[in-house]
Chain A
Amino acid sequence: MRCRVARLNWSTSTGWRSPVEAAQRLPHSLAPVNLDFLDFEQPIADLEAKIDELHLVGDDPEINISEEIARLKDKSRALTESIFAKLSAWQIAQLARHPQRPYTNDYIRRILTDFQELHGDRAFHDDPAIVAGVARLQGRPVAVIGHQKGRDTKQKVYRNFGMPKPEGFRKAIRIMELAERFKLPLLTFIDTPGAYPGVGAEERGQSEAIARCLAVMSDLATPVICTVIGEGGSGGALAIGVGDRVLMLQYSIYSVISPEGCASILWKSAEKAEEAAQAMGITADRLAELNLIHEVIEEPLGGAHRDPEAIASVVQSTLVRHLDELGAVPLDTLLESRFARILEQGEFREA
């Protein structure tokens, strides 16, 4: 059953649809869906199913199968390790978009205390695709901004699939400026397919909102740490991604355009998303190699969603470590080195 459901959903991943459409296509009886395993994890799923079956049999006191279960569990672990040791960029993209992957609010809840959410851009609306507020990280006050996706269909629609509109970015700018004014370090969590491409968003100046986010963050007089926790989709991601440290979770992605979008433009077919993902180098390891991000945060075996507590505590200790480092740097030095780092990004030749 589990496998069937998993296949049902992921078969859609071969042809790109807008998330709205994809959600509409899901039969209501299946939402929330059990999406434990992705396509490429099927061998693991099969083993796990066997283990579950044995557990059921194991209730019978006359048969001792605990040894067999232990053996299968070892096997399952080894299999997971071997599959996860050589994931393709496209497989990592699927993990980054895993429906059970921890979202911004999951991290806020686990690694921060006393979170107080702040709302609205003071001009038009509150955008639920971006959560923002103030909280404490091990006692010290911080400001936090993150994209927020929804878990079930209703939430997905409410959060607009984590795709912010201009008012979301303008709320973010407001919180950034609060952070600067009251000397709170700023933590951002990036997880969006991209900024929302809609009529209203264009009318209200999507471009300008993103551009201003970039400008403000580039010179925001407080330490800024950006963490890509899932999908880093283009300008909508970068809008809250300019900082002193840019970190990425091991199975998150960060790219200028979605693999599907890139494939449909350059290959003239969304089916080539797998190749596009590979060519663009969207994974954390690759981007660290290219010196475009600072650090890769290792995830638990099988991905962050397999052990949300574990990943949250790693993220927390990583953030604390970087904040300590950045806190020791005088503010003007911090701003100069952020600026210098932004300016050195790019590869070109000069005659």
Chain B
Amino acid sequence: MSWFGKMLPSRIKTQNRSRSVPEGLWEKCRECEAVLYRAELQRNLKVCPKCNFHMRISARDRLDYFLDNEPRTELAAGLEPSDPLKFRDSRKYRDRIIQSQKATGEKDALVAMQGAVRGVPVVACAFEFRFMGGSMGSVVGEKFTRAAQVCLDERVPLVCFSASGGARMQEALFSLMQMAKTAAILERMKRAAVPYVSVMTDPTTGGVSASLAMLGDINVAEPQALIGFAGPRVIQQTVGQTLPEGFQRSEFLLEHGAIDMILDRRELRDGIGEILSKFTGVATRVRTEVETETEPEPEPEPEVAADQ
């Protein structure tokens, strides 16, 4: 074989190489299969630059993208799941918790933070979908309730990003009761006229959709998110017919009047900041770019009275 022939990779090798994307550098879009440079994808808030597909993101990334850099205080970080029923299916609930905690670094499926969005003070919570499918058990219900209680006490708006399969089966009826719990505290907020914006992301179904997610003063969804009460598979089994194209996607919900608007992930800060500014009378700070690290920090926060 000539020196040139040796340099040419064999056909098989070429195929192999194109299939295996180096860990960490590149990521493939689930929708359009474009191979994307991870750093660029991160800058684009994990929205595919080619096809606009909104990838699922972690709760921390979510809050990081959404909130102003300062101030940020995590709420109720010490809450941890217990296993009141000593639940065991093919595996112990305890083991599933530990595994999810290791995989995500979170104690349970909800992260709550107090901060501001474009200068408007808010409390924001986000579901961690990788933690047992973002399922709502006692900890999620309690953390959400405490976050809402802070909102009530300080008259600060609440924003919640849902990404959840529903109630957590391993906590059985305790989980179901979290639906009542979150709905009850939201009813209090409604009576107190403290704004609540619910942002539904892919996917928001079951008990979470049938409680806190649908009760927003404003219901927002990210594009193409699966949102519904029953999962498509269950519906398919029940009705025994193929489901219409785009069924239970954000656009379908918008058309049927279940949500107020669909916002691109890159517009969430501005869009929600503006709504909250209108509702609370707090002026938003000058529009900031998402990658604020590269920019000089804007001048110190304007004085914002917590309770208006």
Residue B187, interface by CB 8 Å: yes
Q: Are B84 and A235 in contact (CB under 8 A)?
A: no
Residue B243, interface by CB 8 Å: yes
Residue A325, interface by CB 8 Å: no
Q: Are B80 and A348 in contact (CB under 8 A)?
A: yes
Set B90, B142, B210: member contacting A206, Cβ < 8 A: B210
Residue A8, interface by CB 8 Å: no
Chain A residues with CB under 8 Å of B228's CB are 202, 206-207
**Known contacts A280-B169, A347-B174: A214-B179 contact under CB 8 Å:** yes
Chain A residues with CB under 8 Å of B173's CB are 254-256, 280-282, 287, 290, 292
Give the CA-CA distance A216 to B214 in the complex, in Å.
14
Query: In chain A, residues 22-81, which have Cβ atoms closer than 8 Å to a Cβ of chain B?
Result: none
Q: Are A18 and B238 in contact (CB under 8 A)?
A: yes
**Known contacts A256-B172, A347-B138: A199-B209 contact under CB 8 Å:** no
Give the CA-CA distance A95 to B184 in the complex, in Å.
32
Chain B residues with CB under 8 Å of A331's CB are none
Residue A152, interface by CB 8 Å: no
**Known contacts A20-B238, A199-B239, A199-B247: A343-B185 contact under CB 8 Å:** yes
Number of chain B residues close to chain A: CB under 8 A: 66
Interface of A is mostly: helix
**Known contacts A255-B172, A347-B82, A348-B142: A235-B229 contact under CB 8 Å:** yes
Query: In chain B, residues 236-269, which have Cβ atoms closer than 8 Å to a Cβ of chain A?
Result: 237-239, 243-244, 247-248, 252, 256-258
Interface of B is mostly: helix
Q: Are B184 and A268 in contact (CB under 8 A)?
A: no
Chain A residues with CB under 8 Å of B177's CB are 238, 292, 342, 345-346
Q: Are A218 and B180 in contact (CB under 8 A)?
A: yes
- The chain B residue sitting closest to A166, CB to CB, is B229
Q: Are B230 and A211 in contact (CB under 8 A)?
A: no
Query: In chain A, residues 240-272, which have Cβ atoms closer than 8 Å to a Cβ of chain B?
Result: 241-242, 254-257, 262, 265-268
Give the CA-CA distance A148 to B267 in the complex, in Å.
46
Contact bitstring B73-113, A, C-beta under 8 A = 1, else 0: 00000111110110111100000000000000000000000
Chain B residues with CB under 8 Å of A202's CB are 228-230, 235, 247-248
Q: Are B229 and A215 in contact (CB under 8 A)?
A: no
Q: Are B85 and A281 in contact (CB under 8 A)?
A: yes
| A/B interface sample: 30 pairs, CB < 8 A | A199-B243, A201-B230, A203-B252, A207-B258, A208-B215, A208-B258, A210-B211, A210-B229, A211-B209, A214-B180, A215-B186, A218-B180, A219-B191, A238-B177, A238-B179, A241-B180, A255-B173, A255-B176, A266-B90, A268-B90, A276-B89, A290-B84, A292-B173, A342-B184, A343-B185, A345-B174, A346-B138, A346-B141, A348-B138, A349-B80
Give A contacts to B, CB under 8 Å. Answer: 18, 20, 195-199, 201-208, 210-212, 214-219, 234-235, 238, 241-242, 254-257, 262, 265-268, 275-276, 279-282, 287, 290, 292, 339, 342-343, 345-351
